[in-house]
A and B are shown apart, each in its own frame.
Chain A
């Protein structure tokens, strides 16, 4: 009886001599990987598994990966590449030495910012202005939305809404234009009226005490339509049954508004306010810069972190002060956004940013 010799090739054994297309390096390599578990520490194993999952993911979803790539690249270039630059707040920046070569100075930049007295002014103005903007925007837009909700001529309501929404499309540069037409001391319309009424004219661009009111008015002018649309949509969702029930109980319009409309849009208001509070350390640069025409006489009330950073950079060329203020703003902003988001999550998970 002829006997056969069974040659068993241990899986993963490597025979340089028997490389055929069927038994290629590749196959052998894969065998070792799959069938022959090498003794590894658990951590090593997990890493390996992760790497394998990663490779599988790429094989499976390489199209998705390619699609995401341009967007990720832009985010990386625009937002991540500058991030290491925050260390400039602790350095004395010299353009010739670059970000990494410049000397460390510890907290000197911050100390300088504090000692110059601007730090407190900046924080106070930024917080004060933004708080005023938030309150004014919410109060005004809620009021207007309540009023618009009562208008039952649909076409009239639409016209009103369009007019109020239009400023959202107007750039801050143009807002700066008409502000100038109204307020400049020689040819401004407001001074013209004051003169014709026999009152003393005001040099507006040199009178910081009025600018809180002016800025609040302009921010309401620009933002009212936007929030009104949000709130009006919320109010239109309220079931008419509530109002019918209230009317049978003899409620008047004011009571209806106070006890039905406002409580039911409250979640929307809370979300909007919290999101705005999360960004309270960030002023709208375009707004402040254009409207005040960067007038140095107005700085006591309108100097905010963003305009200060720009001015130190552009006209003074002082990178150190600008970096320190910018760093402070970024860190405070992060803390506030995180806490605001935490609170938003507690009210309404869907509205939270993350």
Chain B
């Protein structure tokens, strides 16, 4: 875009400027292209690993281009997809219920914190944001969740911790505060209550912010394995990421499954195939929602985590 704005007078005194710019530009494209190739290779590795024959993997190891394509791993998974289906079910439930609940709770909270006439908002704001500065640490958190609340081996242990993320509340509050106050006042004069103003005016006007926060929340739920690592022992309640983690760490898990099906496990390729199946939905989602993320990051000024 820089060269397109080049004033025509600049070509004369600077002889060869255009050619130099072209070489420079080609060089930049090449460097960026190289970086992108490096960026894609890891995912290609997982993908090709899932398509390689187990025997090849054992003998020669993972390769970027499989010597011989084989669907062995996917076929094996297809025979007994229960483990994958359970994990998918848990993750889908947690992601959708969690995101919906969290978005609603955070939007309501952020809206009240954005009301200037609401005097308690200062107290509440401090209450929420203090948790960004200080937390009790893992041990008290663990005792609280597992002993006091009794959430060990409960699916709510996967949902509750991410319901309210102070940073997202901050973001939403800032967005709500940018809505012109006159709109609210006009509605109030017409006799609308707070709830009606919130649901009919504030929420529809904040869809970009809500979409961004919703997507971030969704990603957080989908990719989380930490809460499961802490609180979930029942294999039926493993979310997807935790199942994958267990598969990589614990080869025994697949062997147990093989006992049931009575076939040798193509362990190396099956783990990679499961990774592909886990990454698939994210890849598809990414293509659709990427622009909202980019907009959210640049508009809302979400800072790096």
Contacts and interface: CB of A to CB of B under 8 A. Distances in A.
Given A181-B45, A229-B294, A319-B139, A187 B57 contact: yes
A313 B231 CA distance: 12
Contacts of A166: 39, 43, 283, 286
A202 interface: no
A148 B46 CA distance: 28
A68 B43 contact: no
A221 B42 contact: yes
Nearest to A181: B62
B63 A192 contact: yes
Chief secondary structure at chain B's binding surface = helix
A45 to B, nearest CB: 19
Contacts of B242: 173
A351 B301 contact: yes
B115 A64 contact: yes
Contacts of B278: 171, 174
Interface in A4-51: none
A272 B193 contact: no
A316 interface: no
A103 interface: no
B154 to A, nearest CB: 14
B25 A150 contact: yes
A334 B132 CA distance: 9
A276 B137 CA distance: 19
A156 B29 contact: yes
B194 interface: yes
Interface extent on B, as a size class? 35 or more
Contacts of A248: 7, 10
Interface stretch (B77-85, B177-185, B204-212, B219-227): B219-227
A54 B175 CA distance: 27
Interface stretch (A76-84, A110-118, A123-131, A208-216): A76-84
Contacts of A333: 133-134
A273 B129 CA distance: 21
A71 B248 contact: no
A193 to B, nearest CB: 10
A151 B87 CA distance: 42
A11 to B, nearest CB: 30
B131 interface: yes
Nearest to A275: B303
Given A148-B32, A152-B3, A187-B62, A286 B225 contact: yes
A233 interface: yes
Given A75-B131, A351-B301, A329 B137 contact: yes
Contacts of A81: 144, 148
A204 interface: no
Contacts of A191: 61
Contact of A178 (B42, B138, B222, B293): B42
Interface string A221-265: 101101101100100000010011001101001000000000000
Contacts of B195: 63, 67
Going nearest first, the 10 A-B pairs with the smallest beta carbon separation are A85-B140, A326-B137, A71-B109, A187-B61, A171-B223, A82-B140, A233-B298, A82-B136, A63-B194, A79-B131
Given A53-B119, A64-B115, 8 more contacts: A68-B108, A68-B113, A71-B164, A86-B137, A150-B28, A189-B62, A240-B2, A354-B129
19 contacts: A75-B127, A83-B140, A86-B137, A147-B32, A169-B285, A171-B241, A173-B248, A177-B271, A187-B61, A187-B62, A189-B63, A221-B42, A226-B304, A272-B303, A323-B140, A326-B140, A329-B137, A330-B135, A353-B132
Interface of A: 53, 57, 60-61, 63-65, 67-68, 70-72, 74-75, 77-86, 88, 93, 95, 99, 137, 144, 147-148, 150-152, 156, 159-178, 180-182, 186-189, 191-192, 221, 223-224, 226-227, 229-230, 233, 240, 243-244, 247-248, 250, 253, 271-272, 275-276, 285-286, 290, 293-294, 306, 309-310, 313, 319, 322-323, 326-327, 329-330, 333-334, 337-338, 351, 353-354
Interface of B: 1-7, 10, 14, 24-25, 28-29, 31-33, 35-36, 39-40, 42-43, 45-46, 49, 57-58, 60-64, 105-106, 108-109, 111-113, 115, 117-120, 124, 127-129, 131-144, 147-149, 160-161, 163-164, 166, 169-170, 193-195, 198, 219, 222-223, 225-226, 229, 241-242, 244-245, 248-249, 268, 271-272, 275, 278-279, 282-283, 285-286, 290, 293-294, 297-298, 301, 303-304
